[in-house]
Amino acid sequence: MTATDYEMLGRNDANDIEQILMMTNTEKEETISRVKNEADSIFTWDYEKGKRPRLEKLYEKSKHSMWDGQKDLDWSIDVDLDKVVADISVVSEVQNGPITRLAESPNSPFKNWGDEEWTQLNKESLNWQLSQFMHGEQGALIATAKIVETVPWIDAKYYASTQVMDEARHVEVFAQYLDTKLEGNYPVNVHLKHLLDDIINHGEWDMTYLGMQIMVEGLALAAFGYLHMMTSEPLLKKLLRYVMSDEARHVAFGVLTLEEYYQHLTLAEIRERQEFAFEAAVRMRDRFLQQEVWDRMGITDLRPIIEVQLNAAPEEKEFQRLLFSKIVPNCRKLGLLDAGDGWLRTKFEEINVIEFEHLEATDTEFDNFALGEDDVTSV
Ligand SMILES: [Fe+2]
Ligand SMILES: [Fe+2]
Protein backbone atom coordinates (compact mmCIF):
# COMPACT_ATOMS: atom_id res chain seq x y z
CA MET A 1 0.00 0.00 0.00
CA THR A 2 1.27 3.44 -0.76
CA ALA A 3 0.41 6.64 1.05
CA THR A 4 -1.10 8.12 -2.10
CA ASP A 5 -3.61 5.26 -2.37
CA TYR A 6 -5.31 6.63 0.73
CA GLU A 7 -5.06 10.35 0.03
CA MET A 8 -8.66 10.37 -1.13
CA LEU A 9 -9.67 9.14 2.32
CA GLY A 10 -7.66 11.89 4.01
CA ARG A 11 -5.38 9.39 5.76
CA ASN A 12 -2.02 7.72 5.26
CA ASP A 13 -3.18 4.20 5.92
CA ALA A 14 -6.63 2.57 5.72
CA ASN A 15 -6.23 1.31 9.30
CA ASP A 16 -5.07 4.57 10.89
CA ILE A 17 -7.15 4.46 14.06
CA GLU A 18 -6.56 8.09 15.06
CA GLN A 19 -7.79 9.28 11.68
CA ILE A 20 -10.77 6.93 11.73
CA LEU A 21 -11.78 8.25 15.16
CA MET A 22 -11.07 11.86 14.25
CA MET A 23 -14.11 11.80 12.02
CA THR A 24 -17.11 12.61 14.15
CA ASN A 25 -20.67 13.49 13.33
CA THR A 26 -20.98 17.21 14.08
CA GLU A 27 -24.58 17.36 12.90
CA LYS A 28 -26.08 14.96 15.42
CA GLU A 29 -28.57 17.48 16.75
CA GLU A 30 -29.50 19.04 13.39
CA THR A 31 -32.70 18.18 11.54
CA ILE A 32 -31.33 18.85 8.07
CA SER A 33 -27.97 18.50 6.32
CA ARG A 34 -26.99 20.43 3.17
CA VAL A 35 -24.81 18.87 0.48
CA LYS A 36 -23.72 20.66 -2.68
CA ASN A 37 -24.43 18.85 -5.95
CA GLU A 38 -21.72 19.68 -8.52
CA ALA A 39 -23.31 17.81 -11.44
CA ASP A 40 -25.16 19.48 -14.32
CA SER A 41 -28.81 18.71 -14.89
CA ILE A 42 -29.16 17.27 -18.39
CA PHE A 43 -32.12 17.46 -20.77
CA THR A 44 -32.17 15.03 -23.66
CA TRP A 45 -34.15 15.71 -26.83
CA ASP A 46 -33.76 12.12 -27.95
CA TYR A 47 -37.01 10.52 -26.76
CA GLU A 48 -36.63 7.23 -28.61
CA LYS A 49 -37.82 4.67 -26.06
CA GLY A 50 -36.09 1.31 -25.98
CA LYS A 51 -32.82 2.41 -27.54
CA ARG A 52 -31.30 0.53 -24.63
CA PRO A 53 -33.58 -2.52 -24.50
CA ARG A 54 -32.30 -3.96 -21.23
CA LEU A 55 -32.94 -0.67 -19.40
CA GLU A 56 -36.37 -0.44 -21.00
CA LYS A 57 -37.18 -3.97 -19.84
CA LEU A 58 -36.10 -3.07 -16.31
CA TYR A 59 -38.34 0.04 -16.39
CA GLU A 60 -41.37 -1.94 -17.60
CA LYS A 61 -40.74 -4.56 -14.92
CA SER A 62 -40.40 -1.96 -12.23
CA LYS A 63 -43.78 -0.42 -13.01
CA HIS A 64 -45.43 -3.74 -12.16
CA SER A 65 -43.33 -4.54 -9.11
CA MET A 66 -44.44 -1.73 -6.81
CA TRP A 67 -45.61 -2.85 -3.39
CA ASP A 68 -47.20 -0.80 -0.63
CA GLY A 69 -45.51 -0.71 2.77
CA GLN A 70 -48.80 0.07 4.49
CA LYS A 71 -50.99 -2.56 2.80
CA ASP A 72 -48.52 -5.39 2.18
CA LEU A 73 -46.84 -5.51 5.58
CA ASP A 74 -48.70 -6.45 8.76
CA TRP A 75 -47.79 -3.72 11.23
CA SER A 76 -50.06 -5.24 13.91
CA ILE A 77 -47.43 -7.95 14.56
CA ASP A 78 -45.98 -7.70 18.06
CA VAL A 79 -42.20 -7.76 17.87
CA ASP A 80 -40.33 -9.59 20.62
CA LEU A 81 -37.06 -7.69 20.68
CA ASP A 82 -35.25 -10.30 22.81
CA LYS A 83 -36.13 -12.93 20.23
CA VAL A 84 -34.94 -10.79 17.31
CA VAL A 85 -31.64 -10.18 19.06
CA ALA A 86 -31.27 -13.89 19.95
CA ASP A 87 -31.80 -14.85 16.26
CA ILE A 88 -28.92 -12.75 15.11
CA SER A 89 -26.65 -13.46 18.08
CA VAL A 90 -24.82 -16.10 16.02
CA VAL A 91 -23.53 -13.25 13.87
CA SER A 92 -22.71 -11.20 16.93
CA GLU A 93 -20.81 -14.06 18.56
CA VAL A 94 -18.50 -14.52 15.58
CA GLN A 95 -18.16 -10.78 15.10
CA ASN A 96 -17.60 -10.28 18.77
CA GLY A 97 -14.76 -12.82 18.98
CA PRO A 98 -12.13 -10.07 19.19
CA ILE A 99 -14.36 -8.14 21.60
CA THR A 100 -14.67 -11.17 23.87
CA ARG A 101 -10.88 -11.54 23.93
CA LEU A 102 -10.56 -7.87 24.79
CA ALA A 103 -13.11 -8.33 27.59
CA GLU A 104 -10.86 -10.97 29.13
CA SER A 105 -7.76 -8.78 29.10
CA PRO A 106 -6.63 -6.94 32.27
CA ASN A 107 -7.34 -3.45 30.94
CA SER A 108 -10.68 -4.33 29.41
CA PRO A 109 -12.99 -1.37 28.82
CA PHE A 110 -15.81 -3.78 29.72
CA LYS A 111 -14.51 -4.88 33.11
CA ASN A 112 -17.60 -3.64 34.94
CA TRP A 113 -20.04 -5.15 32.50
CA GLY A 114 -22.49 -7.90 33.44
CA ASP A 115 -25.12 -9.83 31.43
CA GLU A 116 -27.35 -6.77 31.33
CA GLU A 117 -24.76 -4.66 29.49
CA TRP A 118 -23.92 -7.41 27.01
CA THR A 119 -27.60 -7.91 26.18
CA GLN A 120 -28.02 -4.17 25.84
CA LEU A 121 -25.05 -4.10 23.45
CA ASN A 122 -26.79 -6.58 21.14
CA LYS A 123 -29.99 -4.53 21.21
CA GLU A 124 -28.10 -1.32 20.50
CA SER A 125 -26.25 -3.00 17.62
CA LEU A 126 -29.53 -4.09 16.02
CA ASN A 127 -31.01 -0.63 16.41
CA TRP A 128 -27.83 0.92 15.02
CA GLN A 129 -27.80 -1.39 12.02
CA LEU A 130 -31.43 -0.74 11.10
CA SER A 131 -30.88 3.00 11.64
CA GLN A 132 -27.97 2.97 9.18
CA PHE A 133 -30.12 1.05 6.68
CA MET A 134 -32.73 3.81 7.02
CA HIS A 135 -30.16 6.59 6.49
CA GLY A 136 -28.59 4.71 3.57
CA GLU A 137 -32.05 4.40 2.00
CA GLN A 138 -32.47 8.16 2.21
CA GLY A 139 -29.06 8.48 0.53
CA ALA A 140 -30.39 6.24 -2.25
CA LEU A 141 -33.56 8.34 -2.53
CA ILE A 142 -31.52 11.51 -3.05
CA ALA A 143 -28.90 9.86 -5.30
CA THR A 144 -31.56 8.41 -7.58
CA ALA A 145 -33.40 11.72 -7.84
CA LYS A 146 -30.01 13.15 -8.87
CA ILE A 147 -29.60 10.44 -11.51
CA VAL A 148 -32.98 11.36 -13.03
CA GLU A 149 -31.55 14.85 -13.52
CA THR A 150 -28.02 14.02 -14.62
CA VAL A 151 -28.06 10.87 -16.78
CA PRO A 152 -28.25 11.76 -20.50
CA TRP A 153 -30.28 8.70 -21.67
CA ILE A 154 -34.10 8.71 -21.70
CA ASP A 155 -34.40 4.97 -20.86
CA ALA A 156 -32.20 5.56 -17.80
CA LYS A 157 -34.19 8.62 -16.70
CA TYR A 158 -37.40 6.57 -16.92
CA TYR A 159 -35.97 3.73 -14.89
CA ALA A 160 -34.34 5.99 -12.28
CA SER A 161 -37.69 7.69 -11.69
CA THR A 162 -39.18 4.35 -10.63
CA GLN A 163 -36.27 3.79 -8.32
CA VAL A 164 -37.00 7.10 -6.59
CA MET A 165 -40.42 5.69 -5.65
CA ASP A 166 -38.84 2.40 -4.48
CA GLU A 167 -36.42 4.26 -2.22
CA ALA A 168 -39.20 6.36 -0.70
CA ARG A 169 -40.92 3.11 0.30
CA HIS A 170 -37.68 1.77 1.77
CA VAL A 171 -37.06 4.85 3.91
CA GLU A 172 -40.71 4.74 4.98
CA VAL A 173 -40.73 1.09 6.13
CA PHE A 174 -37.37 1.17 7.94
CA ALA A 175 -38.38 4.40 9.71
CA GLN A 176 -41.71 2.88 10.69
CA TYR A 177 -40.10 -0.31 12.00
CA LEU A 178 -37.63 1.67 14.10
CA ASP A 179 -40.31 4.01 15.35
CA THR A 180 -42.99 1.47 16.23
CA LYS A 181 -41.08 -1.75 17.01
CA LEU A 182 -37.76 -0.62 18.50
CA GLU A 183 -36.83 2.11 20.93
CA GLY A 184 -35.49 5.27 19.26
CA ASN A 185 -32.82 5.26 16.58
CA TYR A 186 -29.24 6.31 15.87
CA PRO A 187 -27.99 9.32 13.89
CA VAL A 188 -26.20 8.60 10.64
CA ASN A 189 -22.75 7.02 11.00
CA VAL A 190 -20.03 9.51 10.12
CA HIS A 191 -18.29 7.24 7.58
CA LEU A 192 -21.56 6.40 5.84
CA LYS A 193 -22.50 10.10 5.72
CA HIS A 194 -19.15 10.99 4.25
CA LEU A 195 -19.63 8.42 1.51
CA LEU A 196 -23.20 9.54 0.78
CA ASP A 197 -22.00 13.16 0.58
CA ASP A 198 -19.26 12.20 -1.92
CA ILE A 199 -21.81 10.35 -4.05
CA ILE A 200 -24.28 13.23 -4.05
CA ASN A 201 -21.66 15.92 -4.52
CA HIS A 202 -19.73 14.40 -7.45
CA GLY A 203 -19.82 16.29 -10.75
CA GLU A 204 -19.70 13.18 -12.97
CA TRP A 205 -23.08 11.47 -13.31
CA ASP A 206 -21.67 7.96 -13.52
CA MET A 207 -19.93 8.33 -10.13
CA THR A 208 -23.33 8.56 -8.48
CA TYR A 209 -24.21 5.21 -10.03
CA LEU A 210 -20.90 3.65 -9.08
CA GLY A 211 -21.08 4.83 -5.47
CA MET A 212 -24.77 4.13 -4.97
CA GLN A 213 -25.94 1.33 -7.30
CA ILE A 214 -22.75 -0.73 -7.31
CA MET A 215 -21.15 -0.12 -3.91
CA VAL A 216 -23.80 1.00 -1.38
CA GLU A 217 -26.70 -1.00 -2.84
CA GLY A 218 -24.47 -3.98 -3.63
CA LEU A 219 -23.48 -4.09 0.03
CA ALA A 220 -27.07 -3.51 1.14
CA LEU A 221 -28.32 -6.41 -0.98
CA ALA A 222 -25.84 -8.76 0.70
CA ALA A 223 -26.52 -7.34 4.21
CA PHE A 224 -30.32 -7.52 3.82
CA GLY A 225 -29.97 -11.08 2.50
CA TYR A 226 -27.96 -12.12 5.53
CA LEU A 227 -30.35 -10.54 8.03
CA HIS A 228 -33.32 -11.98 6.12
CA MET A 229 -31.80 -15.45 6.41
CA MET A 230 -31.03 -15.10 10.12
CA THR A 231 -34.22 -13.55 11.46
CA SER A 232 -37.45 -15.39 12.12
CA GLU A 233 -39.32 -12.24 13.13
CA PRO A 234 -42.11 -12.26 10.52
CA LEU A 235 -42.50 -8.51 9.99
CA LEU A 236 -38.78 -7.79 9.60
CA LYS A 237 -38.33 -10.88 7.43
CA LYS A 238 -41.07 -9.84 5.01
CA LEU A 239 -39.96 -6.21 5.01
CA LEU A 240 -36.42 -7.26 4.05
CA ARG A 241 -37.70 -9.66 1.39
CA TYR A 242 -39.71 -6.87 -0.24
CA VAL A 243 -36.85 -4.38 -0.10
CA MET A 244 -34.42 -6.95 -1.57
CA SER A 245 -36.69 -7.58 -4.56
CA ASP A 246 -36.26 -3.87 -5.43
CA GLU A 247 -32.56 -3.61 -4.55
CA ALA A 248 -31.59 -6.37 -6.98
CA ARG A 249 -33.16 -4.32 -9.80
CA HIS A 250 -31.33 -1.21 -8.61
CA VAL A 251 -27.94 -2.93 -8.69
CA ALA A 252 -28.76 -4.37 -12.14
CA PHE A 253 -29.56 -0.82 -13.32
CA GLY A 254 -26.08 0.26 -12.25
CA VAL A 255 -24.34 -2.64 -13.98
CA LEU A 256 -26.30 -2.27 -17.25
CA THR A 257 -25.65 1.47 -17.46
CA LEU A 258 -22.01 1.55 -16.48
CA GLU A 259 -21.09 -1.47 -18.59
CA GLU A 260 -21.95 0.59 -21.67
CA TYR A 261 -20.57 3.90 -20.44
CA TYR A 262 -17.19 2.56 -19.27
CA GLN A 263 -16.39 1.25 -22.75
CA HIS A 264 -15.89 4.87 -23.81
CA LEU A 265 -13.66 6.05 -20.96
CA THR A 266 -9.87 6.41 -21.03
CA LEU A 267 -7.66 4.37 -18.72
CA ALA A 268 -7.02 7.46 -16.59
CA GLU A 269 -10.77 7.97 -16.19
CA ILE A 270 -11.25 4.29 -15.34
CA ARG A 271 -8.53 4.55 -12.69
CA GLU A 272 -10.48 7.37 -11.03
CA ARG A 273 -13.50 5.02 -10.91
CA GLN A 274 -11.40 2.21 -9.43
CA GLU A 275 -10.18 4.56 -6.69
CA PHE A 276 -13.67 5.86 -6.01
CA ALA A 277 -14.95 2.27 -5.67
CA PHE A 278 -12.20 1.39 -3.22
CA GLU A 279 -12.72 4.57 -1.21
CA ALA A 280 -16.36 3.55 -0.88
CA ALA A 281 -15.30 0.05 0.23
CA VAL A 282 -13.07 1.41 3.02
CA ARG A 283 -15.71 3.86 4.23
CA MET A 284 -18.28 1.07 4.36
CA ARG A 285 -15.90 -1.12 6.33
CA ASP A 286 -15.29 1.73 8.79
CA ARG A 287 -19.00 2.21 9.18
CA PHE A 288 -19.28 -1.32 10.60
CA LEU A 289 -16.95 -0.36 13.45
CA GLN A 290 -20.20 1.12 14.87
CA GLN A 291 -18.48 3.87 16.86
CA GLU A 292 -21.84 5.35 17.90
CA VAL A 293 -22.88 2.16 19.69
CA TRP A 294 -19.76 2.14 21.87
CA ASP A 295 -20.32 5.82 22.65
CA ARG A 296 -23.87 5.12 23.74
CA MET A 297 -22.70 2.19 25.88
CA GLY A 298 -20.58 4.70 27.81
CA ILE A 299 -17.14 3.67 26.52
CA THR A 300 -14.86 6.71 26.51
CA ASP A 301 -11.72 5.33 24.85
CA LEU A 302 -12.65 3.52 21.63
CA ARG A 303 -9.07 2.87 20.52
CA PRO A 304 -8.62 -0.67 21.95
CA ILE A 305 -12.00 -1.70 20.54
CA ILE A 306 -11.30 -0.38 17.05
CA GLU A 307 -7.85 -1.93 17.16
CA VAL A 308 -9.05 -5.46 17.94
CA GLN A 309 -11.79 -5.17 15.32
CA LEU A 310 -9.37 -4.07 12.59
CA ASN A 311 -6.90 -6.80 13.55
CA ALA A 312 -9.46 -9.61 13.81
CA ALA A 313 -8.63 -13.01 12.32
CA PRO A 314 -10.00 -13.67 8.79
CA GLU A 315 -12.66 -16.14 10.07
CA GLU A 316 -13.90 -13.48 12.49
CA LYS A 317 -14.38 -11.11 9.58
CA GLU A 318 -16.59 -13.55 7.67
CA PHE A 319 -19.65 -11.30 7.92
CA GLN A 320 -17.75 -8.23 6.67
CA ARG A 321 -16.32 -10.30 3.82
CA LEU A 322 -19.75 -11.57 2.80
CA LEU A 323 -20.90 -7.99 2.41
CA PHE A 324 -18.68 -7.84 -0.69
CA SER A 325 -20.25 -10.89 -2.34
CA LYS A 326 -22.30 -8.71 -4.69
CA ILE A 327 -19.83 -5.86 -5.13
CA VAL A 328 -16.86 -7.86 -6.43
CA PRO A 329 -18.59 -9.78 -9.28
CA ASN A 330 -20.29 -6.56 -10.39
CA CYS A 331 -16.97 -4.67 -10.45
CA ARG A 332 -15.55 -7.53 -12.52
CA LYS A 333 -18.48 -7.29 -14.96
CA LEU A 334 -17.77 -3.57 -15.36
CA GLY A 335 -14.13 -4.30 -16.18
CA LEU A 336 -12.99 -2.37 -13.10
CA LEU A 337 -10.99 -5.19 -11.51
CA ASP A 338 -8.38 -5.60 -14.22
CA ALA A 339 -8.40 -2.33 -16.17
CA GLY A 340 -5.01 -0.60 -16.38
CA ASP A 341 -2.57 -2.30 -14.05
CA GLY A 342 -5.32 -4.17 -12.19
CA TRP A 343 -5.22 -1.73 -9.29
CA LEU A 344 -8.65 -2.65 -7.92
CA ARG A 345 -7.94 -6.39 -8.08
CA THR A 346 -4.85 -5.81 -5.92
CA LYS A 347 -6.88 -3.77 -3.46
CA PHE A 348 -9.64 -6.39 -3.22
CA GLU A 349 -6.95 -9.01 -2.70
CA GLU A 350 -5.56 -6.94 0.16
CA ILE A 351 -8.92 -6.82 1.92
CA ASN A 352 -9.43 -10.52 1.22
CA VAL A 353 -12.62 -10.38 -0.87
CA ILE A 354 -11.37 -11.24 -4.37
CA GLU A 355 -12.69 -14.82 -4.15
CA PHE A 356 -16.22 -13.53 -4.87
CA GLU A 357 -15.28 -12.32 -8.35
CA HIS A 358 -16.81 -15.30 -10.19
CA LEU A 359 -20.18 -15.27 -8.44
CA GLU A 360 -23.06 -14.30 -10.72
CA ALA A 361 -23.28 -10.56 -11.46
CA THR A 362 -26.55 -8.88 -10.50
CA ASP A 363 -27.55 -7.79 -14.03
CA THR A 364 -28.38 -11.43 -14.83
CA GLU A 365 -29.26 -12.54 -11.32
CA PHE A 366 -31.89 -9.94 -10.40
CA ASP A 367 -34.89 -11.98 -11.61
CA ASN A 368 -34.15 -14.50 -8.84
CA PHE A 369 -35.08 -11.83 -6.32
CA ALA A 370 -38.50 -11.05 -7.83
CA LEU A 371 -41.41 -11.56 -5.45
CA GLY A 372 -43.19 -14.89 -5.92
CA GLU A 373 -46.67 -16.02 -4.94
CA ASP A 374 -45.43 -17.22 -1.53
CA ASP A 375 -43.80 -13.89 -0.69
CA VAL A 376 -46.93 -11.97 -1.51
CA THR A 377 -49.37 -14.16 0.43
CA SER A 378 -47.30 -15.18 3.46
CA VAL A 379 -46.92 -12.89 6.44
FE1 LIG B 1 -33.36 0.96 -1.16
FE1 LIG C 1 -32.04 0.76 -3.78
CA of 167, nearest ligand number: 1
Radius of gyration from C-alpha coordinates of the chain: 21
Position 341 in a domain: yes
| CATH number of the domain bearing residue 243 | 1.10.620.20
Range of the domain at 58: 51-103+110-369
Quick one: CA dihedral 291, 132, 286, 122, positive or negative?
A: positive
**Whole-model pTM?**
0.93
Can you give the length of the chain in residues? 379
Position 319 in a domain: yes
From ligand 2's centre to the CA of 220, what distance in Å?
A: 8
Domain count, the chain: 1
User: Cα–Cα distance between 231 and 223 in angstroms, integer?
Assistant: 12
From ligand 1's centre to the CA of 101, what distance in Å?
A: 36
From ligand 1's centre to the CA of 247, what distance in Å?
A: 6
User: Cα–Cα distance between 268 and 335 in angstroms, integer?
Assistant: 14
* DSSP character at residue 210: I
Position 307 in a domain: yes
User: Cα–Cα distance between 117 and 216 in angstroms, integer?
Assistant: 31
Position 24 in a domain: no
Per-residue pLDDT tens digits of the chain, which is 379 residues long: 444 566 667 776 777 777 777 777 777 778 889 999 999 999 999 999 999 999 999 999 999 999 999 999 999 999 999 888 888 765 555 566 788 888 888 888 888 888 889 889 889 999 999 999 999 999 999 999 999 999 999 999 999 999 999 999 999 999 999 999 998 999 999 999 999 999 999 999 999 999 999 999 999 998 999 899 999 999 999 999 999 999 999 999 999 999 999 999 999 999 999 999 999 998 998 888 889 999 999 998 888 888 888 888 877 777 778 888 889 999 999 999 999 999 999 999 988 889 899 988 888 777 888 887 677 655 4
List helix spans (H) across 202-326. Answer: 205-209, 217-230, 234-262, 267-287, 291-296, 303-310, 318-322
Position 34 in a domain: no
User: Cα–Cα distance between 65 and 371 in angstroms, integer?
Assistant: 8
Position 20 in a domain: no
Position 379 in a domain: no
From ligand 2's centre to the CA of 269, what distance in Å?
A: 26
Please classify residue 173 by burial: count the beta carbons closer than 10 Å to its beta carbon, then call 0-12 exposed, 13-18 middle and 19+ buried: buried
Position 12 in a domain: no
From ligand 2's centre to the CA of 256, what distance in Å?
A: 15
